[in-house]
Amino acid sequence: MTMKLSLNIHNFNAFRYIQCGLLFLGLFSALFDRGSTPIIVTALSKESPSEWKFQDRQYILSSFYWGYVVTQILGGYLANKYGMKFLFLISILGPSLLSLLMPTVITFGGWKAYAAVNMFKGLIQGLMYPAIYYNISKWAPKPERNIMSNIVETGFSWGQLLSPFISGKIAASNISWPGIFYLNATIGIPRRFQIRHGKGEKPHSSKSRKRSMEDPSDKPKPIPWTSILTSPPFLALILVTACQELGYTFINSEVPQFFNALFNLDIESNGLNTTLIQIPTLVMMHVYAIVGYILLKRRIVGLTVLRKSYNAIACIIPTAIYIALTQLDGSQQTLTMVLIAIIASTLPAQDIAYWINVIDLSPRFSAVLYGIINTTTSIMSMLSPLIIGSIVSEGE
């Protein structure tokens, strides 16, 4: 018996998937840049331990979100009013140009200057996700929404996967940590010239084709702030995403320093091990998407049951493993890595469980909803390193 997973060819619009590919590349460059920060601060601490203390490094890891949290709701508002093209371009180009300046900034300004520029990178990059979800809400038909969102979000996982490994290799070479910043700029700046056309703006589309891509009711409308902020489903979504982000921050930001303190790894091995535990995230992202597609296609479960099941996977399993990790020590490196890899394997479930639910709640105002939710999750990402820095001393 052959099972068909192909999309309906009559409704297939190749340009929608070109859009997904371009968003994938933009998200990849952003996460490659962001994912290199833990490796950079670990390399700097090994180079000059007295100048790069643990608490100072936590400020750097937190600083990106000082700016990131400010522009989330603004990004949603601007995307809803003006579209995504300019927001997406500036959110890629700005951080890439700042990466070119970062080695000089660090050399002359130390950790405080690094944190300040990192904050500006977050301020600019905060516009990206609202723009992405605005684009998906406009381009993705409901039956294809999960698969298109999955394609785009894979850029997140690939950036996060490759960044520690490549950054560790560069940091261990003669180029050292400045080379990581130059690579970040090299990856990001070309994306500026690839994202050109928005909805209905394909250069060679006929007028009738452009009209077919447009929703006749798709005109700017006042944002119903009261309805949004008093919606029980939306408030529940805010709560679950905020809590989940605390655990995600550990995997994304703290693992290289955790490995360094617990196992005393050299910077190249640290980057490799950090990459290895990210592989399950990339693999399981596709598994969750395919399994979900099959279950819905065969009507084995409904969308609500699927989302709640994936949410349970993303929340309950990591919680149990985090508790187990407190009982391990530096002699149990393999077991520690396996447990963290299992946590990483559950993270993609959240994309289907509730991130894409933003579009389900309100396709028209999805950029605004995402901006609000990402503000709360960014606050968690901002606070997490500071909390860890307040309870963990150097070398513990």
Q: With a cut of 50, which residues of the chain have pLDDT below it?
A: 1-11, 196-206, 208-217
Helices 128-139 and 85-125 pack at an angle, to 10 degrees, of 150
Establish if 302 belongs to a structural domain.
yes
Q: How many CA atoms lie within 13 A of 139 on its CB side?
A: 29
What's the pLDDT at 217? 47
Distance between CA atoms of 177 and 294, rounded to whole angstroms?
A: 45
Task: State the DSSP string of 48-83.
Answer: -TTTS-HHHHHHHHHHHHHHHTTSHHHHHHHHHHH-
Whether 184 and 232 map to the same domain: the answer is no
**pLDDT, tens digit, for every residue of 101-125?**
999 999 999 999 999 999 999 999 9
| Pick from 271, 296, 283: nearest CA to 143 | 296
Q: Are residues 181 and 266 in the same domain?
A: no
Report CA 387 to chain centroid distance, whole Å. Answer: 21
Indicate whether 196 and 228 sit together in one domain: no
Q: At what angle do helices 145-172 and 128-139 cross, to 10 degrees?
A: 150
| 156 plus 291 within the same structural domain | no
234 and 374 fall within a common domain? yes
Q: Are residues 51 and 183 in the same domain?
A: yes
List Cβ neighbours of 101 (8 Å cut-off, separation of 6 or more). 117
70 with 184, same domain? yes
The enclosing domain of 26 has a CATH number of 1.20.1250.20
Number of independent structural domains in the chain: 2
Which pLDDT value is given to residue 202?
Answer: 44
Q: DSSP characters for 329-373?
A: -TT-HHHHHHHHHHHHHHTTHHIIIIITHHHHH-STTHHHHHHHH
Amino acid at 375: T
Q: Which domain holds residue 74?
A: 15-200
Domain boundary, last residue among 167, 200, 233? 200
Residues 231 and 375 grouped into a single domain:
yes
Domain contains 364: yes
Question: What pTM did the predictor assign?
Answer: 0.74
- Residue 218 in domain: no
pLDDT of residue 209: 44
Task: Please check whether residue 336 lies inside any domain of the structure.
Answer: yes
- Does residue 61 sit in the same domain as residue 146? yes
7 in any annotated domain: no
For residue 196, the SS3 value is coil
Please say whether the beta carbons of 291 and 181 come within 8 A: no
Q: Is 117 in contact with 102 (CB distance < 8 Å)?
A: yes
Residue 149 and residue 93: Cα distance in Å, rounded?
23
The pLDDT value recorded for residue 219 is 58
What does the alpha-carbon distance between residue 140 and residue 143 come to, in Å, rounded to a whole number?
A: 8
Joined together, the tokens standing for residue 93 give 């180009």
Q: Is there a domain that residue 295 lies in?
A: yes
In sequence order, the 6+-apart residues with CB closer than 8 A to the CB of 107 are none
pLDDT reported for residue 220: 60
Question: Is 150 in the same domain as 246?
Answer: no
Q: What pLDDT is attached to residue 394?
A: 56
Residues 276 and 196 occupy one common structural domain:
no
Q: Does the residue 211 lie in any domain?
A: no
Q: What are phi and psi of 201, to 5 degrees?
A: -115, 20
Token pair 């331990």 is at which residue? 49
- Same domain assignment for residues 269 and 149: no
